[in-house]
Amino acid sequence: MAKGKWTNAEYNRLVVLFNDGKSVDEISYELKRSSQAVLNKCTRNSLSFRDRDKPKYERGKSEKSDDEIPCLRCRIDFKSEGIFNRVCPSCARLNAGYVGVVPG
């Protein structure tokens, strides 16, 4: 699939597909480029799939109870069990595999 340099039309189409929420594989299929080529072009042009797909956290706008706090890892509100509990259960399961992290 080596195609060489990106044309302006291809880059503009990449940006449109990226903003439409398409995955890397969908974009690479439509542009007939490799997934790695799409990722490289996005990285070089500050188009981050991670930031695009991250849930938006807006402090003070959500209607939450007093015991709901934002997770330190994913920033999604969850019901805390106390002042020691700062990571949501799904992130705690992810952290359990890392060395030096005490399972909760």
Q: In this structure, are residues 18 and 28 in contact, taking their beta carbons and an 8 Å threshold?
A: no
Determine the Cα–Cα distance for residues 72 and 95; give it in Å rounded to an integer.
12
32: left (phi over 0), alpha (psi -120 to 50) or beta: left
Mean pLDDT by 10 residues, the chain (104 residues): 83 93 92 93 89 69 68 87 84 73 56
